[in-house]
Chain A
Amino acid sequence: MTFAEGLGIFFEAVTIAFSWPTIGWIVVGILVGIVIGALPGLGPSLGMAIMLPLTLPLEPVNAIILLVSVYSGAMYGGAIAAILMNAPGTSAAAATTFDGYPMSRRGEALKALSISATASSIAGFFTVITLILLSPVLIEVVLAFQSPEYFLIALLGLAMITVISKGSMVKGLTAGMFGLMITTIGTTSFAVAPRYTFQDQLGFTLNDGISFVAVLIGLFAIAEMFKLAGEKGGISRGKTIMTGSVVPGIKSVLSHPVTLIKSGYIGMLIGAIPGAGSTVSTFVAYGESVRASDDPESFGKGNEVGLIAAESSNNGTIGGSLIPTLSFGIPGSAATAVLLGGLIMHGLRPGPTMFSEQLVTTYSLFVALLVGNVIILFVGLFVITRTSIITRVDTEYIIPIIIVLALVGAYGLRGPSQTWLDIWTVLLLGGIGYYMKMYNYSIIAFVLGVVLGGIAETNLDRSLQLSGGSWSIFVDPLNQPLSFVLVVLIAFLLVGPIIKPYLTKALANR
């Protein structure tokens, strides 16, 4: 295909995306997505699953565009509850709470929300444009990742514990290990017998393990509500007044172009890796922004750079995650799995043809994402920022409503047999999270453990099975160069902070 042909197809796609009713479905999808994403516990996959049967009467292209718009809207919407009430609905939004919520507590909710809308939409915009240009190459990148690399990517995420968590290293590691340990409950793909399921007493309840979304809701939303209940006043304790201006937020994003671009691309690239990608990408981008900062201590306390990193990477992830789904029908996350179902339901078979004969469809999806990002920007800046008023309301009114939302959300997470398990998980983890915060145990480390445990374990086991039990599969620069690079990167992350002072000292003495 020549460049001119590609351009022609692109303009055809633009025409499709802007035609009626397609453009209407983009708006509907984004708005529905934002609302669903903003509710604690409801993420993109659930939102898309709800919409899936409703797309049946639509044209295939419109149906898929609607689903992708819900995906994009929900990824952005997750930030709203994360910033305002420390209640993320997905692991991607968890990284947003790290600095977004402290900003709210400081009275800068409006600014945090405008940063989130600006960073999300700009990053969404340029990563999708990059994808349109680079999609054939990215397929090769996706295939370069195998089980050893997935394991190492998960390990890279876990290594971020040392970068992100402050204070006692032993506390951080213990919290992380406890999180990892929880993920071993239930069945794994490589063993038939379920573990720690108390099958005689509980039947199937624990077979599919503890829901990590329930853990997130408990650790963040409920723990925070317990904590707020012990303090007078509103969520915001700052003295800044929330004026109607969104300008400082936009300015803040634009004045950190490096973080914005770097995090967007980290999100896109890691997001393209099926399985590990979409869960790890925001943590890696966030960790990288902490690492690159001159003032790592200020992260987690409301540093705008941290928020920009988290928000731009999570929208970058969307475009990236579509690549393996469209090219090989390999969904990398729950959300893309539902999208895949939608594609098949509408007779659009994913595969290489999506990048040849079906290119118009693929491009119209991408164009729809571009349009969606513009909508996110406007809605985010001019509508969503109004919700920052919530942080001024006395928490007495907010606490019971959030607890109701969190628990009702937990009720709908999974099937009936796990309902009460999920609700007790939310409540129990709320208590544990409360005390962990009180005694300065890193919640972030705990979350990383819970999110990455499954990926780490199955891929480690599989790698060792593939290599016949030899660990050399991870450090074989000739046959597994990518693994080798990742190992070096992880080593650098772990050892870096320890040798840095000595190094600076040595350099200073010269």
Chain B
Amino acid sequence: MEKAAVATVGLTALAGCVGDDDDANGDEEYPDRSVEMVIPFGEGGGTDVFARNVANAASDFLGQSFSFNNVTGSGGLVGTAEVHSAEPDAYTLLAFNPPSTPTSWLIQQPDFDIGELEGVAIIGRFPYIITANSDYEVENFSDLVDRFEDGEFSQIAGQGQGTMVDVVARVLRDEVGLPWEDYIAYDGGGEVTQAVLSDEVSIGIGTDSGALEGVEDGRMDPVACIPSGGSAVFPDLDTIADTEFAEEGDNIDTLAMLQPCYWAPPGTPRDRIDVVSEAVEQGIATDEVQAFAEDSGNVIEYSGPDEASALLQEVLETVPEVVDLDELRQS
């Protein structure tokens, strides 16, 4: 396996990503070789692109390059399990985005504790929004609720069954009061967009950046941003908290905001985590990363290890409170 990792580093070096400039971090021990970043989703996917971009910028400040390893399967749990049992020396790190993978973990109950992972950094956020096919001219969230109550709409589209989007949809129905009857599951965010564009399902839940193409095309309207943090892609879009249906700090604030993070295996020394985390913070501040953020419509923002760990705990506590996991599993 050793050789394999070295080979990937070779590639990364070819790609010109090794920045061996002077190390600002003072830690003379760590890192003295490249750091493996396990991405539990496929190459070219949202998690992958995000994690690679930020890590590549961070490597300039870390003084070592990252080698990326996409270990896919079971909603990210395969790669997560691998890192969970890896040597806690901070040479193996992990990227996933709460609340998505923790929700899969809660549903599938594999025999490792995801809550033991050490947070390294939160590197960004993108909110889920509600979209509607533009033929229906849905004005805002309360208009949408009215029309669901009238029976004009009954279905809502989202990514996957038993996923965080499914959870968000259930919370919207049970706590916020959007009375949908059928949740139509699709395989990916792109499929959800397509369903709304083609009016297969008139209303959908998806990320703000994923909705941008359809909205620009004029076939899709953003109706409301679900969490109160708001959307950078649609800055003028009302959040649900802007209406009388929810308040800031409600469960949807955590559940409907995807926050890409880096993680380390349980028991990784805090000083090493701090070294990586600091490099990530510096990397995020670079012009390249901010330019990427602007181009892709994502918010790339740094928060430290404690915030990341707290976020994970919050998700693991909130999800079982708001939905019946057994019921979710049975569907």
Question: Taking CB as reference atom, which chain B residue is nearest A347?
Answer: B295
When chains A and B are docked, how far (Å) is the Cα of A340 from the Cα of B56? 19
Residue ID in chain B nearest A417 by CB atoms: B78
Partner-binding segment picked from B194-202, B276-284, B314-322: B194-202
How would residues 77 to 91 of chain B score, 1 for a CB under 8 Å from any chain A CB and 0 otherwise? 111011000000000
- Say whether B155 contacts A466, CB under 8 Å: yes
Q: Please report the C-alpha to C-alpha distance between residue A190 and residue B166 in the assembled complex, in whole angstroms.
A: 11
Distance, CA A340 to CA B79, complexed state (A): 22
Contact across chains for B161 and A191 when beta carbons are under 8 A apart = yes
The answer to the question of A192 belonging to the interface, with a C-beta cut-off of 8 Å to chain B, is yes
| Contact of A349 with B190 in the complex, beta carbons under 8 Å | no
Task: Check B213 against A352 for contact (C-beta < 8 Å).
Answer: yes
Cβ–Cβ contact A418 & B73, under 8 A: yes
Please tell me if the beta carbons of A341 and B45 are within 8 angstroms of each other in the complex: yes
Contacts of A147 in B (CB 8 A): 195, 200
Give the residues in chain A near B81, CB-CB below 8 Å: 204
B44 at the interface (CB under 8 A from A): yes
Q: Is the CB of A193 within 8 A of B329?
A: yes
Distance in angstroms from A337 CB to nearest chain B CB is: 6
Contact of A340 among B44, B70, B162, B297 (CB under 8 A): B44
The stretch that binds A, out of B13-21, B168-176, B240-248, B250-258, is: B13-21
CB–CB B190/A338 < 8 A: no
Interface string of B53-70 (1 = CB under 8 A from A): 100100000000000101
- A339 within 8 Å of B by Cβ? yes
CB pair B216–A352 under 8 Å, yes or no, is yes
Give every chain B residue within 8 A of A331 (Cβ-Cβ).
190
Choose from A204, A345, A417 the contact partner of B53 (Cβ within 8 Å): A345
Determine the residue in chain B with the shortest Cβ distance to A49. Answer: B43
B216 touches A56 (CB 8 A): no
On whether the beta carbons of B185 and A56 are closer than 8 Å, the reply is no
Closest to B166 in A: A192
Interface positions of B from 183 to 240, Cβ below 8 Å from A:
184-187, 190-191, 193-195, 197-198, 200-201, 210, 212-214, 216-217
**Cβ contact within 8 Å between B49 and A351:** no
User: Closest approach, in angstroms, between the C-beta of B46 and any C-beta of chain A?
Assistant: 8
Report the nearest B residue to A458, measured CB to CB.
B187
**Contacts A143-B198, A351-B212 hold; do A53 and B44 have CB atoms under 8 A apart?**
no
Which partner residue on chain B sits nearest A339 by CB separation?
B44
A40 at interface by CB-CB < 8 Å = no
> CA–CA, A143 to B292, complex, Å?
30
In-complex Cβ contact of B201 among A340, A353, A466 (8 A): A466
Contact partner of B190 (CB less than 8 A), chosen from A329, A415, A416, A417, is: A329
Chain A residues, Cβ within 8 Å of B182: 465
**Contact in complex: B216, A57 (CB < 8 Å):** no
Give A171 to B207 CA distance when docked, in angstroms. Answer: 47
Q: Once the chains bind, are B71 and A415 in contact (CB under 8 Å)?
A: yes
User: Do B186 and A189 touch (CB < 8 A)?
Assistant: yes
Contact B216 A53 (CB under 8 A): no
Which B residues are in CB contact (< 8 Å) with A275? 187, 191
In the complex where A57-B15, A146-B200 touch, is A189 in contact with B160 (Cβ < 8 A)? yes
CB of B140 within 8 Å of the partner chain:
no
**A414 contacts the other chain (Cβ, under 8 Å)?**
yes
The interface bits of chain B over 110-134 (1 if a CB of A lies within 8 angstroms of the residue's CB, else 0) are 1000000000000000000000000
Instruction: State in angstroms the CA–CA spacing of A508 and B77 once bound together.
Output: 66
Given contacts A53-B12, A147-B200, A349-B296, is CB(A330)–CB(B191) below 8 Å?
Answer: yes
Q: Does A54 contact B (CB under 8 A)?
A: yes
Question: Least Cβ distance of B301 to chain A in Å?
Answer: 18
Residue B313 is within 8 A (CB to CB) of chain A in the complex: no
* B-chain residues with CB within 8 Å of residue A327 when the two chains form the complex: 213, 217
* A347, B296: Cβ atoms closer than 8 Å: yes
| Cβ contacts under 8 Å, A48 to chain B | 44
**B72: chain A residues within 8 A (beta carbon):** 208, 414-415
Q: What is the 8 Å Cβ interface bit string for chain A, positions 453-483, against chain B (1 contact, 0 not)?
A: 0000010001001100000000000000000
Contacts of B77 in A (CB 8 A): 204
Please measure, in the bound complex, the distance between the C-alpha atom of A418 and the C-alpha atom of B73, giving whole angstroms. 9
| Chain B residues positioned under 8 Å from A351 (CB to CB) | 212-214, 216-217
Measured between alpha carbons, how far is A380 from B295 in the docked complex, in Å?
Answer: 39
Docked Cα-Cα span, A104 to B331, in Å, equals: 51
Say yes or no for B5: interface residue by CB 8 A criterion.
Answer: no
Residue of A nearest to B68 (CB): A53
A338 near B194: Cβ-Cβ < 8 Å: no
Taking the closest CB of chain B, its distance from the CB of A463, in whole angstroms, is 9
Q: Which residues of A contact B48 (CB under 8 A)?
A: 341
Interface string of B284-303 (1 = CB under 8 A from A): 00000001100111000000
**In the bound complex, do residue B71 and residue A344 qualify as a contact, i.e. CB atoms below 8 Å apart?**
no
- Cβ contacts A317-328/B at 8 Å (1 or 0 each): 000000010011
CB-CB under 8 A for A337 and B73, given A189-B160, A274-B194: no
Q: Does A52 contact B (CB under 8 A)?
A: yes
A100 to chain B, nearest CB (A): 30
- Say if the beta carbon of A430 comes within 8 Å of chain B: no
Contact present for A341 and B44 (CB under 8 Å): yes
Q: A350 an interface residue at 8 Å Cβ cutoff?
A: yes
Closest chain B residue to A416, Cβ basis: B71
User: With A54-B15, A189-B160, A203-B110 known to touch, is A347 a contact of B291 (CB < 8 Å)?
Assistant: yes
Take A192-B328, A192-B330, A347-B291 as given contacts and tell me if A414 and B73 are in contact as well, using a CB distance cutoff of 8 Å. yes
Contact B210 A329 (CB under 8 A): yes
CA distance A437 to B168 in the complex (A): 50
- Tell me the minimal C-beta distance from B111 to chain A in angstroms: 8
Q: 28 A–B contact pairs at CB < 8 A? A: A52-B43, A53-B52, A54-B11, A56-B16, A144-B198, A145-B198, A190-B161, A191-B161, A193-B330, A203-B110, A204-B81, A208-B72, A328-B197, A331-B190, A338-B43, A339-B44, A340-B44, A340-B190, A341-B43, A341-B48, A342-B44, A344-B296, A347-B291, A349-B297, A352-B217, A416-B82, A418-B73, A458-B187
6 closest A-B pairs by beta carbon, nearest first, are: A341-B44, A351-B213, A347-B295, A192-B162, A49-B43, A338-B44
**A56-B16, A204-B74 given; 17 more Cβ-contact pairs under 8 Å:** A49-B42, A53-B12, A56-B15, A189-B161, A192-B330, A193-B330, A204-B81, A327-B217, A329-B210, A337-B45, A340-B190, A341-B48, A351-B217, A415-B78, A415-B79, A416-B82, A465-B184
B interface residues with partner A (beta carbon < 8 Å):
11-12, 14-17, 42-45, 48-49, 52-53, 56, 68, 70-74, 77-79, 81-82, 107, 110, 155, 160-162, 182, 184-187, 190-191, 193-195, 197-198, 200-201, 210, 212-214, 216-217, 291-292, 295-297, 328-331
